[in-house]
Amino acid sequence: MRKVRSYVVLAVLVVLVVAGCSSSSKEAGVKVDLVDMRGKATGEPPTVEIAVKDNVFVPRAVRVDPGTTVTFTNEGRSAHNVRASDASQDFGEYKFGVEEGDFAPGGTYSYVFEKPGVYEFYCSLHGTNKVGMIGAVVVGDVEFSGRIGTAGGTATGAKSGTLRVPADYPTVQAAVDAAQPGSLILVAPGVYKEAVTVTTERLVIRGESRAGTVLDGEFALDNGIKILANGVAVENMTARNFTKNGFFWTGVKGYRGSYLTAIRNGDYGIYAFDATDGQFDHDYGAGSPDAGFYIGQCYPCNAVITDSISEWNGLGYSGTNAGGNLLIVNSVFRNNRAGIVPNSGTGEANPPEKETTIVGNLVYDNNNAGSAAISIAQTAIGNGILLAGGVDNVVERNRVYKHDIVGIGAIPLPEKVLDPDNPKAVDFSATGNSVRDNVVSESTAADLISVTSIADAKDAGGNCFSGNTFSTSIPQGIEQLLPCGSPASPEFTADIGKFAELLGSDKPKGNDYKTVALPEPPALEEMPDAKSAPARPADTGVPVRIDIAVIKVPDRR
């Protein structure tokens, strides 16, 4: 594992690279580019490297000579595993694969491929052997179709209409496997100790009772519901106690999570990755060490988070390299370590993060040292809205208060400083961001801050601030120095001493998500007519259209 050396205190403020875990594949049998490494392996023995990024193998498919060692390196921020797609396939003398307990971030796993053949593999946390996070090693001159995710094919169930659990099927997974596209899986109240994987398009999975229909991972199962198919909606149920995520869409077009409750899950609560045309509405996420809500690696995302609550997480919202018609509106982010944190990073595709719209949210008291938290959330504690290496974001008409460091800030993210041994690292500046008409108060370092570049605190970079109600800023007089609609003042300079001192100080460690004493959820709205409403798959009508212009600053609580 790489060691991150000490760095100037300014760099500490931008340790905000927040990644997720998903796949880029859309369906079984996805076409890939085959990287031919025959005769190009390096070292002794000859070795080829496959990077295990957050949610994808890079390269996905590689051709090597027999006898080549392939080394998998976990370059992501999450644990992964590597398993053979066909467990019966003869890999050779030794068993192939590594489990997540032995393959944490920074870890490596090597295998010598001796026999000619096509060897497909996958990460079970973020896909199946047919779709999701999949890859292949092609050994020798054998024929390769150019497609991976071919193990087993994809079957579609025989039943349409409404499939009831447990009246018709004993488990949610059994009903999902039996359903045809467009079907409704209606789940009665009860505790279902299972992890569900969905590969059939346009299903609607709905609980009859939001609090009473519960998927429970018992801290042993990975994802409550993992969706790898287009147009799937999940509604009106709870996922708790999973080691990874509560509700998880990856590599899809069309998704919706409505009236969902995600509590005490080990990575994210409600999560979409490499997915477009989606919506999270009337949802609640609490108790995740990374983020209660996450949308990552998409552009344009065409996605909305609205009328939702995120509390007692490491981060209320995180979104790495996401943007483009991405709206976070009319929601509450409170009592997390940090509130809303869009961010850039090279650990996922599509950097930088750009064009996220954050309007009409209530963001307060995100100083919670009692929560679970990954390391980045520990560093970011005490901040309301941070645009970390983000570009062209809009932050308007939010009410942000009671933060131990900053209310709303645009700050750089210098990967080269944080990880100087990484040749692919990039220093991301925060540029072109617009912060208007927010009400910000009670921030220890500053209500508003703009620091564009790690290299030059005098670089205004096009961020602008206008019409905000606030008391303190870095630099002082931020709206006069960086006005919206006019050029930045040549006198701009960011004196970040107090801010950097607070952000660079020792921070409380994260707590175990399994044992944190979470508050009882607030009164949460039930889906109307859950037992009788017709199925509405997520292939049309998502995301919901939001009239940004009519949104007002929310009242204080």
- Taking only the tens place, the pLDDT of each residue in 396-408 is 999 999 999 999 9
Residues of 58-86 as b/e, b for ≥16 C-beta within 10 angstroms?
Answer: ebbbbbbbeebbbebbbbbbbbbbbbbbe
Q: What pLDDT, on the 0 to 100 scale, is given for residue 154?
A: 56
Q: At residue 186, does pLDDT exceed 80?
A: yes
- With tokens 């890999």, the residue in question is 91
Structure tokens at 228: 């790898």
- Nearest CA-CA partner of 297 in 536, 14, 23: 23
**Contact residues for 486 (Cβ-Cβ < 8 A; gap 6+):** none
Q: What pLDDT, on the 0 to 100 scale, is given for residue 321?
A: 96
- At 95 the three-state DSSP class reads coil
Domain ranges in the chain are: 30-148, 157-276, 287-506
- Nearest CA-CA partner of 123 in 251, 262, 295: 251
pLDDT band at 191 (very low <50, low <70, confident <90, very high): very high
DSSP code for 378 = H
Q: At residue 152, does pLDDT exceed 70?
A: no
Q: At residue 428, does pLDDT exceed 60?
A: yes
- At 396 the three-state DSSP class reads strand
CA 462 to CA 475: how far, in whole Å? 14
- Nearest CA-CA partner of 483 in 503, 507, 466, 505: 466
pLDDT band at 458 (very low <50, low <70, confident <90, very high): low
Q: How many CB atoms lie within 10 A of CB 153?
A: 9
Total-model pTM = 0.88
CATH homologous superfamily of domain 157-276? Answer: Single-stranded right-handed beta-helix, Pectin lyase-like (2.160.20.10)
pLDDT in tens, 211-252: 999 999 999 999 999 999 999 999 999 999 999 999 999 999
269, 246 contact by CB (below 8 A): yes
- How many percent of the chain have pLDDT more than 70? 92
CA 73 to CA 421: how far, in whole Å? 15
Q: At residue 15, does pLDDT exceed 70?
A: no
Q: What single letter denotes the amino acid at residue 501?
A: E
Taking every pair of C-alpha atoms in the chain, what is the biggest distance, in angstroms? 71
Q: What does pLDDT average to over the chain?
A: 90
CA 169 to CA 159: how far, in whole Å? 11
Phi, psi dihedrals of residue 502, rounded to the nearest 5°: -70, -45
489, 365 contact by CB (below 8 A): no
CA 103 to CA 109: how far, in whole Å? 7
Same CATH fold assignment for domains 30-148 and 157-276:
no
pLDDT greater at residue 196 or residue 502: 196
pLDDT in tens, 495-523: 777 677 777 788 899 999 999 999 999 99
Q: At residue 389, does pLDDT exceed 60?
A: yes
DSSP code for 518 = P
549, 358 contact by CB (below 8 A): no
pLDDT in tens, 317-376: 999 999 999 999 999 999 999 999 999 988 788 899 999 999 999 999 999 999 999 988
pLDDT in tens, 272-290: 999 999 999 999 999 999 9
- With tokens 């047919």, the residue in question is 130
pLDDT in tens, 76-90: 777 899 999 988 888
Q: At residue 27, does pLDDT exceed 50?
A: no
Cα pseudo-dihedral 45, 50, 51, 53, rounded to 10 = -150
> 30-148: what fold?
Immunoglobulin-like (2.60.40)
pLDDT in tens, 254-277: 999 999 999 999 999 999 999 999
What's the start-to-end Cα distance of the chain, in Å? 44
384, 364 contact by CB (below 8 A): yes
Q: At residue 5, does pLDDT exceed 50?
A: no
pLDDT greater at residue 15 or residue 315: 315
Q: At residue 17, does pLDDT exceed 50?
A: no
pLDDT greater at residue 153 or residue 4: 153
Instruction: Find how far residue 149's CA is from the centre of its chain.
Output: 23
Q: At residue 7, does pLDDT exceed 60?
A: no
One-character DSSP codes across 338-360: EEEEEE--TTSSS-S-B-EEEES
Q: What pLDDT, on the 0 to 100 scale, is given for residue 413?
A: 86
Q: What pLDDT, on the 0 to 100 scale, is given for residue 22?
A: 34
CA 224 to CA 243: how far, in whole Å? 9
Q: What pLDDT, on the 0 to 100 scale, is given for residue 55?
A: 80
Q: What pLDDT, on the 0 to 100 scale, is given for residue 158?
A: 86
What is the DSSP pairing of strand 147-148 with strand 162-165?
unpaired
CA 317 to CA 310: how far, in whole Å? 8
Q: At residue 470, does pLDDT exceed 50?
A: yes
What is the DSSP pairing of strand 184-187 with strand 162-165?
parallel
Q: What pLDDT, on the 0 to 100 scale, is given for residue 457?
A: 61
Q: At residue 6, does pLDDT exceed 50?
A: no
Q: At residue 23, does pLDDT exceed 70?
A: no
Listed range (19-23, 114-118, 429-433) with the worst mean pLDDT: 19-23
Q: How many helices (H) and strands (E) does the chain have?
A: 6, 44
Half-sphere exposure of 326 (CA within 13 A, CB side): 26
**Contact residues for 127 (Cβ-Cβ < 8 A; gap 6+):** 23, 25, 133, 134, 228, 250
